[in-house]
Amino acid sequence: MNTIPELLPHDAHNAILISNVHPPDWPNPEPASRYNLVVIGAGTAGLVTAAGAAGLGAKVALVERHLLGGDCLNVGCVPSKTIIRSSRAVADIRDASQFGIRVPEGTEVGFSLVMERMRRLRARISAHDSATRFRDLGVDVFLGEGHFSGPDTVEVAGKALRFKKAVIATGTRPVYPTIEGLAEAGFLTNETVFSLTEQPRRLAVIGGGPIGCELAQAFRRLGCEVTLFHNASHILNREDGDAAEIIQQSFIRDGIRLILNCKTKKVEKKNGDKMIHIDCAEKAGTIAVDEILAGAGRAPNVEGLNLEAVGVQYDKRKGVKVNDHLQTSNPMIYAAGDICLNHKFTHTAEATARIVIQNALFMGRKKLSALTIPWCTYTDPEVAHVGMYEREAKEKGIGVDTFVKTLKDVDRAIADGEEEGFVKVHARKGTDKILGATIVARHAGEMIGEITLAMVGNLGLRVLSNVIHTYPTQAEAIKQVADTYSRTRLTPFIKGLFTRWLAWGR
């Protein structure tokens, strides 16, 4: 039976989304006698695996129990980045006087309009992931919950799909914090927060990692009074410390109340308020809010797949165990995306899907460990990173030289009024080989691509220093940081030679 997922609010935009990614009248096809590949889960990892394999001539079945597109399209990247864009417009208006622009008083955020814009754009983007599009690409799309029912069989909605190889791409879901009284008081997660149509006046966000931080800042700028709870002494504490500090200061300027290093003891409902009782090193107290958003941690969707029966090993916290070729403990079954990765991003879901196609279907030996994976947290400014952090290099006993260019010295950043940030590159000591980089800038996510390209192409800082960048751009900071490296090559000895040579030529 095709159980239609509930997606609130019931409006025209969500109706379009559903008609694309879980059509109510979808007829599951008659299964082929055997598939080259049966893919369970149609998030980014599953969709890319299925489309890529079918494009190469494989007979592929794709199984999805909820919405094609998975988290990214429906309750992750797409809706979050859409509302972040609106929240940036608010910040631009707030800061307009710095640019010599007087904004009339009484400018208002239309919260419900912001959320409607998000639903409209999400519905539009959903066409890329639609069931009919994938059927047209040659994929047999089955809607329903899939599980392994035999060594070479996946069962979905009463149909048995026999496979030569299978791929588990079932992703993750939000972890529900174990705080006394929270479940009774009610809380939001990324699965429900994008259904809001009315602005919560006071919002508590639990979790100061990337998801919590992005949403805390967006909702603050859209007008909510936001309190962010984080159980470490700094938000984004896994990031480069200097980068995290810039974001923390930006949050304080935005008026986000930070409760750090604190345990949330219990939550209770009183006169319509949700009362959060905290217990910190310095203080204990109670904070009253209207809504609580839990944004701390992800749990892998391993339940109900009958993995034990097919000998696929997994960990309830870390997900399906894979080797470097993304093969599970059952050599006929592979995994891709969040279900098996530490780096839970859409672009890694896509990259691992590509590895799986080659390894599962064409006896490829592509390795997960060979990937160079960048990522970005879309706060304002953004924090993007690739490769090693300085602390990781230290732990591994690798010597590094670190080169930094602050945006305060970059003409375009000054002109843009976006000077809070930097480009920091770690190179192997005494060489120009790039080991890692962190960028803090309004569009750091765009800029990190250049350094990722250099790392993948084995191009060092010397090459980056020779690349002509258009003036004025913030990306010039990348060339300038590379120039900083080049200047270290000008040792007193070489400078002395140059001076003598030039004196001789006068």
Ligand X SMILES: Cc1cc2nc3c(=O)[nH]c(=O)nc-3n(C[C@H](O)[C@H](O)[C@H](O)COP(=O)(O)OP(=O)(O)OC[C@H]3O[C@@H](n4cnc5c(N)ncnc54)[C@H](O)[C@@H]3O)c2cc1C
Residue 305 sits in the site that holds ligand X (CB under 6 A): yes
Characterize the bridge pairing of strands 382-387 and 35-40: unpaired
Residues 6+ positions from 10 with CB-CB distance below 8 Å: none
Residues 6+ positions from 457 with CB-CB distance below 8 Å: none
Backbone angles phi, psi at 307, to 5 degrees: -65, -30
Nearest CA among 188, 190, 195 for reference residue 173: 190
181 within 8 A of 266, measured Cβ to Cβ: yes
Check the CA dihedral 286-291-296-299 and report its sign.
positive
Site for ligand X in 247-286 (CB under 6 A): none
Least Cβ distance, residue 348 to ligand X (angstroms): 7
Rounded CA-CA distance 500/472 in Å is 36
12: left (phi over 0), alpha (psi -120 to 50) or beta: alpha
Site string for ligand X, 178-217 (x = CB under 6 A): ------------x--------------------x------
Stretch that binds ligand X, among 125-133, 301-309, 427-435, 491-499 (CB under 6 A): 301-309
Least Cβ distance, residue 281 to ligand X (angstroms): 30
**Residue among 31, 43, 200, 208 that touches ligand X (CB under 6 A):** 43
Rounded CA-CA distance 271/274 in Å is 8
Report which DSSP code applies to 361: I
Site for ligand X in 66-95 (CB under 6 A): 66-67, 70-72, 76-77, 80-81
Burial of 502 (0-12, 13-18, 19+ CB in 10 A): exposed
Find the length of the chain: 506
Q: Select 65 or 442, whichever has its Cβ closest to ligand X.
A: 65
Q: Select 179 or 307, whichever has its Cβ closest to ligand X.
A: 307
Least Cβ distance, residue 114 to ligand X (angstroms): 16
For ligand X (CB under 6 A), the number of binding residues is 39
Residue 170 sits in the site that holds ligand X (CB under 6 A): yes
Least Cβ distance, residue 505 to ligand X (angstroms): 55
Residue 230 sits in the site that holds ligand X (CB under 6 A): no
Least Cβ distance, residue 30 to ligand X (angstroms): 19
Site string for ligand X, 355-384 (x = CB under 6 A): -----------------------x------
Residue 159 sits in the site that holds ligand X (CB under 6 A): no
Residues 6+ positions from 502 with CB-CB distance below 8 Å: none
Helix (H, G, I), strand (E, B) or coil at 466: helix
Residue 304 sits in the site that holds ligand X (CB under 6 A): yes
Least Cβ distance, residue 458 to ligand X (angstroms): 25
Stretch that binds ligand X, among 22-30, 64-72, 270-278, 415-423 (CB under 6 A): 64-72
Q: Select 211 or 262, whichever has its Cβ closest to ligand X.
A: 211
Backbone angles phi, psi at 400, to 5 degrees: -130, 150
**Residue among 14, 82, 87, 346 that touches ligand X (CB under 6 A):** 346
Structure tokens belonging to residue 16: 């379009």
Footprint of ligand X (CB under 6 A): 40-46, 63-67, 70-72, 76-77, 80-81, 145-146, 169-172, 190, 211, 301, 304-305, 337-339, 344-347, 349, 378
